[in-house]
A and B are shown apart, each in its own frame.
Chain A
């Protein structure tokens, strides 16, 4: 009898009796985009379930615990920060659409950031959340370019970057119409590409405009407790709206019938059905889930949709004091490049340390008496997925240690000097992720941080009731991913005729 009750209890834990097998909408992935889409749909009364393969929410921007310490997966900064009262920007749109009060995110602004180019960062452009600072820095460092820069800024201001139907236009070409100094050109492209380009060397002008506005017109901010604050708000909203969530429950296959996603087969073999399916897994990744894939005249996803070529490695160093106390100043983010030209392309070696991004999460303005308990020093560089993916475990660990040192050495050239002994003594913990880590935890093929270079702006796929959201729909970053989930839920489900 006892056993029986126990078994029943177990059963209801693993197969809660109230979960049914048909939904209005099934969402693949509990990253930023899937959660945002879920909130919209649940709020308007749809029966929604999010299926997530991992045991944690957040995807490319989650968090994890290691040695009793909480780490953010990716978060450097949330882009698109605007102060209260500024309207019509991506941040205010998403807050409204998700019915989130901006105080819930409790965003704290960056102090200052810079782009540092040259073997030791000889040319530097500072910027803050006040665009005038960036403009005056350009005027000071590049007096001959400032008129062109202002003309470019005017073009950016008036460009309609969210139109879903504009074709590809080379951003490099348009920028060169206004700027003749390749150094300034590269110094603008470096941050824009690192924070939001799935394309090598060049990018689509609309995506350039989205990122330029997100970084320079708007700006950087972070909740004191990092990305988990944002995720907690999203998960709470979703639950309050009545959304269902199944964790450690990936979608293994999508069974197609008559041009529709008829059934989802979950990793454990159970089957569910849904009127609509929204996938944040990526274009090629979603295509692969479809059993007997077919092509659809309206879909831009072909079999063999290109997988992204760009991936990153990141080192995380935890310090026993604030970075400023080591003499590193109070820069929030530093984008660096040591070479004559900035190369944004798949790395030929495990990591490409010629350029990168340094982030000091301590250097946001958390208010007078508040500071993160420990110091954090994060460095990102381009990395090759292929050269990490198949290493035997032992080699992988050894290479990680070697590349960790290489990345850190490279980045430190752009910071005030601190001797090795002092840094080692101040270091209390380290971690590092590689392109392999990204694929392992998010399923993105090739460790592609920003997904495929070929975006599907309208989200349509080969199947008429299956849509993409997130990375491969095309809005990138935390803010972009949330907006992507919102707009796909609106377009294909809520406003659908």
Chain B
């Protein structure tokens, strides 16, 4: 999996959780929270959908790594690769 593909995975999850958000112009280097209405319940859901859909575990201490699309890709891509994806 490439970092770009990883960003798409995260975007797909957000689209699923928050279908009322417009995701067309999300800037990868800006905090997701600053670009759309995402609260702590929504972040919990991103983490849980990663586990449910992709078998990826994100410990609570690492939640800050999911702040922006870029940081998600940095953090998650190696995890996907480790799972052979």
Q: Do A and B come from one complex?
A: yes
Tell me whether B44 and A490 are in contact (CB under 8 A).
yes
Tell me whether B37 and A99 are in contact (CB under 8 A).
no
Tell me whether A87 and B48 are in contact (CB under 8 A).
no
- B20 interface hit (Cβ, 8 Å): yes
- B17 interface hit (Cβ, 8 Å): yes
Tell me whether B37 and A495 are in contact (CB under 8 A).
no
Tell me whether A495 and B20 are in contact (CB under 8 A).
no
A443 CB to nearest B CB, Å: 29
Tell me whether B20 and A92 are in contact (CB under 8 A).
yes
Tell me whether B19 and A97 are in contact (CB under 8 A).
no
Tell me whether B20 and A88 are in contact (CB under 8 A).
no
Tell me whether B39 and A84 are in contact (CB under 8 A).
no
Tell me whether B19 and A497 are in contact (CB under 8 A).
no
Chain B residues closer than 8 Å to A486, beta-carbon distance? 41
- B42 interface hit (Cβ, 8 Å): yes
- B16 interface hit (Cβ, 8 Å): yes
- B52 interface hit (Cβ, 8 Å): yes
Chain B residues closer than 8 Å to A487, beta-carbon distance? 41
Tell me whether A96 and B42 are in contact (CB under 8 A).
yes
Interface membership of chain A positions 73-110, coded 1 if the CB is closer than 8 angstroms to chain B and 0 otherwise? 00000000000110110001101110101100000000
Tell me whether B20 and A87 are in contact (CB under 8 A).
yes
Q: Give the interface residue-count category, chain B.
A: 10 to 19
A47 CB to nearest B CB, Å: 14
Chain A residues closer than 8 Å to B60, beta-carbon distance? 497
Tell me whether A84 and B20 are in contact (CB under 8 A).
yes
Tell me whether A97 and B41 are in contact (CB under 8 A).
yes
- B26 interface hit (Cβ, 8 Å): no
Q: Which of A44, A45, A102, A490 contacts B41 (CB 8 A)?
A: A490
Chain A residues closer than 8 Å to B74, beta-carbon distance? none
Whose C-beta in chain A lies nearest to the C-beta of B51? A44
Chain B residues closer than 8 Å to A497, beta-carbon distance? 60
- A7 interface hit (Cβ, 8 Å): no
Chain A residues closer than 8 Å to B20, beta-carbon distance? 84-85, 87, 92, 95-96, 102
Interface membership of chain A positions 465-497, coded 1 if the CB is closer than 8 angstroms to chain B and 0 otherwise? 000000000000000000000110010001101
B62 CB to nearest A CB, Å: 14
A95 CB to nearest B CB, Å: 8
Tell me whether A87 and B37 are in contact (CB under 8 A).
yes
Whose C-beta in chain B lies nearest to the C-beta of A100? B19
| Complex CA distance for A87 and B37, rounded to whole angstroms | 7
Whose C-beta in chain B lies nearest to the C-beta of A89? B37
Q: Which of B41, B44, B52 contacts A93 (CB 8 A)?
A: B41
Tell me whether A494 and B39 are in contact (CB under 8 A).
no
Tell me whether A45 and B52 are in contact (CB under 8 A).
yes
Interface membership of chain A positions 142-158, coded 1 if the CB is closer than 8 angstroms to chain B and 0 otherwise? 00000000000000000
Tell me whether A44 and B48 are in contact (CB under 8 A).
yes
B3 CB to nearest A CB, Å: 27
| Complex CA distance for A85 and B19, rounded to whole angstroms | 11
Q: Which of A45, A101, A494, A495 contacts B19 (CB 8 A)?
A: A101
Max chain B C-beta neighbours (<10 A), residue from A96, A487, A490, A495: A96
Chain A residues closer than 8 Å to B19, beta-carbon distance? 101
- B18 interface hit (Cβ, 8 Å): yes
Could you list some 10 contacts between A and B, CB below 8 A? A87-B20, A87-B37, A88-B39, A95-B20, A96-B20, A99-B16, A99-B17, A101-B19, A102-B20, A497-B60
Q: Given A88-B39, A93-B39, list of 14 further CB < 8 A pairs?
A: A44-B52, A45-B52, A84-B20, A87-B37, A88-B37, A92-B37, A93-B41, A96-B45, A99-B17, A101-B19, A486-B41, A487-B41, A494-B44, A497-B60
**B interface residues with partner A (beta carbon < 8 Å):** 16-20, 37, 39, 41-42, 44-45, 48, 52, 60
